[in-house]
Amino acid sequence: MVVNSVHWFRKGLRLHDNPALQEALDGADTVRCVYVLDPWFAGSANVGFNRWRFLLESLEDLDNSLRRLNSRLFVVRGQPTDVFPRLFKEWNVTRLTFEYDSEPYGKERDSAIIKMARNFGVETRVRNSHTLYKLERIIELNNNSPPLSFKRFQALIQRLELPKRPLQTVTVEQMDSCPTPVAANHDELYSVPSLEELGFKTTDQGQAVWKGGETEALQRLHRHVSKEWVGNYWKPHINVCTLMASPSGLSPYLRFGCLSCRTLYYRLRELYMKAYQHTPPPLTLFTQLLWREFFYTAATHNPAFDRMTGNPICMQIPWDKNPEALAKWAEGRTGFPWIDAIMTQLRQEGWIHHLARHAVACFLTRGDLWISWESGMKVFEEMLLDADWSVNAGSWMWLSCSSFFQQFFHCYCPVGFARRIDPSGHYIRKYIPKLKDYPDRYIHEPWKAPESVQRGCNCVVGVDYPMPMVNHAETSRLNIERMKQVYQQFSHYKGLSLLEVVPVIREQTESSVPKSSMSHPSCNDGMVSSLCLSLSHRKRERPIDLHCSQGCSQPKMQCVGLDRDSNRPLQQ
């Protein structure tokens, strides 16, 4: 029987460590590598210029690598559900392969495709290689619920065996045995589109700071791992240089799959063991990879992971709706140079350091503007190269203290924090050239400079550069009270949060009469239902059905997390 394989690239845009691609090649007579691209999305989807550019560069790179193997990449315009039936028929496809996508939307799309393929008599082979482990294993190990604290997650990882070793890259010999029929008009039909074709203007865009593609990824891997061993990997000295885009930074490449996370894992492991006489490395060596894994695991069974309402693991916080304020933040017009510089770097380059992310996320949500993390998440989704669904939503929930049992007392001051990391204002001057003449003393708070200084710097606050949009002391005071209000409703948070001195007179907070929710099935009830009932101070009065009816798809998952999360004593 003739085996005609099609490998479907979605993420995993690489030839090294690509088990699904290997399955496509395995005993096949022909193979075609396909990427499905819906050009109409370019205008409407929440994906900005840098992300499209990165993707297209990655596809070009794949195409070039495949050319060297006497093959080509087929970029097919359209939607998978429309595209595949046509291709199955045209190419007489018998096998379809792709890398497993753990995200809820991805799983849904893929199961539809698998079903459709079956109807066409096409065998599907799916392999896991976007995450270090099969996420189901981790969930299983945690009593069938995803761990919601990073400590717990690390403890589970400790118990697992090492991740699967990365596979070798595809060789010429392999491709020779299953050639790709490339038609003369291939470039007409299946070439990688240009940015102009997708409707972007490229004239005033500078060179990409982060160049897409597997080739670039592997070069960076080499640079990343060689420099890790100078100094401490676990405590890089944070200074202004760390804020700048690093030529050895890897996060966008991991997101698009230009670099295999397992390849990175094993390279780090190898080098550590060489440097430290074959002692196995501690988990902290892989912290960044584990965070990524953590969020994928938390999200895989939760289609509402990117929302507050209806999300069983998200605190229902009464965020403000303020489109004007949101726009100022997103466009870097807050009047706080630190925040504005970060948002400018993000817009221009597509990457910001994690500390910068903490600063702007805190500013938008629980620190200053009290705007929902969902709005911030959407802005990041548009501009941030390494923001994919699970990791982006998870990080935003974490940084806004909406989930994962975070302490909310520390607030990043948009001036103080900036001063400590960037005392000479180098970062500000780079991304907000208007302020470059300001002396160090005032660069982080230009509104404090005397008028003469401002005029001398050719940048008057309120005219050339915005006034600070909030009074940070005032907003942080208000917001800490808001956070307390939210958390104090849950008596089992006592002992998890500082600042918890509960007033003596409890008439308003706790009651012996079962508290009925007020004008609507209160969001609070939704949260209570999904948090561990047995930890509640109140007696178990409400029938369990009612709790589940509040939209909780995974009752008691936090229960397990909390119980075992023994670094916090249960104050009962």
Partner 1 sequence: MKRGRVNITSKCQGFSSTEGRIKRQKPGPLGSSLAQRPAEDWGSLPHHVVLHIFQYLSLVDRARASSVCRRWNEVFHIPDLWRRFEFELNQPATSYLKSTHPDLIQQIIKRHAQHLQYVSFKVDSCTESAEAACNILSQLVNCTIKTLGLISTARPSFMDVSQSHFVSALTVVFVNSKSLSSIKIDDTPVDDPSLKVLVANNSDTLKLLKMSSCPHVSPAGILCVADQCHGLRELALNYHLLSDELLLALSSEKHVHLEHLRIDVVSETPGQTHFHTIKRSSWEALIRHSPKVNIVMYFFLEEEEFEPFFREETPVTHLYFGRAVSKEMLGRIGLNCPRLVELVVCANGLEPLDEELIRIAERCKNLTAIGLGECEVTCSGFVEFVKMCGGRLTQLSIMEEVLIPDNSYNMEQIHSEVSKHLGRMWFPDMMPTW
**Closer Cβ to partner 1, 215 or 479, answer by number:** 479
Measured from the Cβ of residue 37, the count of other Cβ atoms closer than 10 Å reads 20
Region near partner 1 per CB under 8 A, out of 136-144, 261-269, 282-290, 339-347: 282-290
| HEC profile of 37-100 | ECCCHHHHCCCCHHHHHHHHHHHHHHHHHHHHCCCCEEEEECCHHHHHHHHHHHHCCCEEEEEC
CB of 362 to partner 1, least distance (A): 10
Strand order, beta sheet including 123-127: 73-77, 30-37, 4-9, 95-99, 123-127
Q: Indicate which single residue of 477, 510, 534, 572 sits in contact with partner 1 (rule: CB under 8 A).
A: 477
Query: Is the separation of the CB atoms in 65 and 192 below 8 Å?
Result: no
Footprint (CB under 8 A) of partner 1, residues 55-114: none
CB of 226 to partner 1, least distance (A): 20
Of 109-117, 175-183, 230-238, 433-441, the segment contacting partner 1 by CB under 8 A is 230-238
Question: Phi then psi for 335, rounded to 5 degrees?
Answer: 90, -5
- Degrees, nearest 5: CA angle 448-452-455: 95
233 is in an annotated binding site: yes
Is there a contact between 97 and 16 (Cβ–Cβ < 8 Å)?
no
Shortest distance (Å) from residue 399 CB to partner 1: 7
Q: Closest CB to partner 1 among 19 and 163?
A: 163
The token duo for 48 is 């900005």
DSSP designation for 34:
E
- Binding track over 497-536 against partner 1, x by CB under 8 A: -xx-x-xxx-xx--x-xxxxxxxxxxx-x-----------
DSSP-derived 3-state class of residue 465: strand
Known binder of ligand: residue 9?
no
Among 222, 439, 495, 510, the residue binding partner 1 under the rule CB under 8 A is: 495
Q: Which amino acid is at 45?
A: A
Q: Quick one: which of 46, 144, 571, 572 contacts partner 1 (CB under 8 A)?
A: 571
Q: Quote the least distance from Cβ 443 to partner 1, whole Å.
A: 17
Token pair of 551 as six digits: 């939209």
| Position among 112, 172, 467, 546 found at the interface with partner 1 (CB under 8 A) | 546
DSSP 303-371: TTTT-STT-TTS-----B--HHHHHHHHTT-SS-HHHHHHHHHHHHHS---HHHHHHHHHIIIIITT-B
Q: Is 294 annotated as a binding residue?
A: yes
* Contacts of partner 1 in 237-276 (CB under 8 A): 238, 251
Smaller CB distance to partner 1: residue 1 or 513? 513
CB-nearer residue toward partner 1: 234 or 278: 234
* Position 217 contacts partner 1 (CB under 8 A): no
Is 290 labelled a binding residue? yes
User: In terms of CB distance, is 282 or 439 closer to partner 1?
Assistant: 282
Using CB under 8 A, which residues numbered 109 to 138 contact partner 1?
Answer: none
Return left, alpha or beta for 126; rule: phi > 0 is left, psi -120 to 50 is alpha, else beta: beta
Terminal-residue alpha carbon distance, the chain: 67
Please give the helix or strand (H or E) that residue 8 lies within, else none: strand 4-9
Applying CB under 8 A, among 264, 391, 432, 449 the residue interacting with partner 1 is 391
Contact string (CB under 8 A) for partner 1, positions 295-334, x = contact: x-------xx---xxx-x-----xxxxx------------
Nearer to partner 1 among residue 451 and residue 545 (C-beta): 545
Out of 354, 441, 455, 537, name the contact with partner 1 by CB under 8 A: 354
Distance of CA 316 to the CA centre of its chain: 21
Task: Indicate the residue among 62 and 317 with the shorter CB distance to partner 1.
Answer: 317
The residue behind tokens 């929710």 is 517
* Count of residues touching partner 1 (by CB under 8 A): 94
By CB under 8 A, tell whether 420 contacts partner 1.
yes
Q: Which two tokens stand for residue 67?
A: 């050319």
Q: Is 184 annotated as a binding residue?
A: no
Q: How far apart are CA 316 and CA 489, in angstroms?
A: 11
Of residues 25 through 54, those in contact with partner 1 by CB under 8 A are none
Structural tokens at position 572: 């009962």
Phi first, then psi: what are they for 141, rounded to 5°?
Answer: -65, -20
**Residue 164 in contact with partner 1, rule: CB under 8 A:** no
Binds partner 1 by CB under 8 A, chosen from 40, 105, 276, 409:
409
Q: Which of 12, 48, 106, 394 binds partner 1 (CB under 8 A)?
A: 394
Q: How far is the CB of 127 from partner 1 (least distance, A)?
A: 24
Residue 386 annotated as part of some ligand binding site: yes
Binding-site annotation, residues for FAD: 233, 288-295, 386-388
